[in-house]
Structure 1
Amino acid sequence: MGDTSLRERALRYLAQRDHSRAELARKLAGHGSDAEIADIIDRMGELGLQSDRRFAEAWVRSKAGRFGAARMRSELARRGVERELVDEALCGECVESELERARMVWRAKFGASPADPREWARQARFLQTRGFATDVIRKLLKEQPDESA
């Protein structure tokens, strides 16, 4: 396909939502050569239409209420965002502490302290899959119900 077609395809993807450079390259991969794709993505970056920084900030903003820092860091790395940009996005967008975010996620799912070790393990596993650190999980699940209110 020609350069115009590749450009239009890239614009269509970017009009739907922000994409990381790696995501956009992956989506365009079957539609042009690597050099053509790199040129198009570079041009989109020059025009301010594609930005890994903006992508990371928007992604963190949309997921911060549901996931811990470890999960967000891992997901953004999987999407090809550089570590420095991920760290900046996490610092800039996660205004609540990791414990506060974990508490909100836990409260929405469970709302009651674990009654026995089996329930404690189930709640801890849930929070761990959401990307919260082990020390945050321990601290949260040791709290008394009236302390978290």
Structure 2
Amino acid sequence: MRIERLENSKHKQERVLVYLEDGTLLRITGAELLQFGLYQGLDLPPETLEELRAAARRSDTRRRGASMASGRMLSKKELTERLTKKGASPDDAAETADWLEDLGAVDDTAYAGVIVRHYGAMGCGAARVRQELHRRGVPKELWDEALKQLPPPQEAIEKFLCAKLRGRPLTPEDSRRLAAALQRRGFSWQDIRPILNGLGQEIDET
């Protein structure tokens, strides 16, 4: 397969456009241009052409991955899944996630901390935050350290109750309703019960 022409991309720095005689356009990096020793008129053997196509796919996956990671924080798992949904091979997606992690553009530890602080500020307990860490693909071995950034459960529960009661006395109906709401927010019964009991409502486990 012969190379018809080579052009520098007008839109992407360090991007080289390789036009082949069959009309195919490959997008590669300047480093890959030098690696393969490409020039206009070069006749590429089939094995070299396949290697070049693979390099072009890898470069395109890296470009997509960098764009995704620059738009918002993502875990490596989220990034890999998004890339495969866009058509990248599992190997290229995983390689791109590793590459971006090495560059510091993907950081599961920092991402875990952001998630914990965000949901902690929303008044959620540890169980609810664990669900979110799992949903976002944060490795489980990072959870315990990140969860240390949550406010103490007593503080969060008391803040929630204060906002809901607005100074009025706690009724038995309030106690049952608010206990259920706190459990949905991820607080354990062991943390909820003593605080509600301290407000004058002795309640059994719901």
TM-score category, normalised to shorter length:
0.7 to 0.9
Structure with higher Rg: it is 2
Give the TM-score taking structure 1 as reference length. 0.85
The answer to whether the Cα contact below 8 Å between 1:20 and 1:50 also exists between their aligned partners in 2 is yes
Q: 1:113 to 1:74 in 2, by over 3 A?
A: farther
Share of identical aligned residues, percent? 32
How far apart are 1:113 and its partner, in Å?
A: 4.6
Q: 1:107 to 1:17 in 2, by over 3 A?
A: farther
Give the match for residue 119 of structure 2. Answer: 63
The answer to whether the Cα contact below 8 Å between 1:113 and 1:141 also exists between their aligned partners in 2 is no
Which region of structure 1 is more displaced relative to structure 2, 11-20 or 66-75? 11-20
The answer to whether the Cα contact below 8 Å between 1:114 and 1:123 also exists between their aligned partners in 2 is no
Correspondence 1:115 to 2:171: yes
Instruction: Kindly tell me the number of residue pairs found equivalent between the two proteins.
Output: 142
The one-letter amino acid of 2:65's match is: A
Correspondence 1:106 to 2:161: yes
Structure 2, gaps ≥5 residues long: 1-55, 201-206
Partner deviation per Cα, 1:46-79 (whole Å, 9 max, x = no partner): 1111011111011111111221011111220222
SS in 1 for 2:84: helix
The answer to whether the Cα contact below 8 Å between 2:170 and 2:199 also exists between their aligned partners in 1 is no
The one-letter amino acid of 1:105's match is: F
The answer to whether the Cα contact below 8 Å between 1:6 and 1:28 also exists between their aligned partners in 2 is yes
The answer to whether the Cα contact below 8 Å between 1:106 and 1:127 also exists between their aligned partners in 2 is no
2: distance between equivalents of 1:58 and 1:11? 20
Q: Report 1:1-149 matches (<5 A).
A: 2-31=57-86, 32-65=88-121, 66-91=123-148, 93-94=149-150, 96-111=151-166, 112-116=168-172, 118-144=173-199
Q: 1:143 to 1:59 in 2, by over 3 A?
A: same
2: distance between equivalents of 1:5 and 1:99? 49
Higher relative contact order (CA 8 A, sep 6+): 1
Whichever structure has more strand as a proportion of its residues is 2
The answer to whether the Cα contact below 8 Å between 1:60 and 1:72 also exists between their aligned partners in 2 is yes
The answer to whether the Cα contact below 8 Å between 2:75 and 2:137 also exists between their aligned partners in 1 is yes
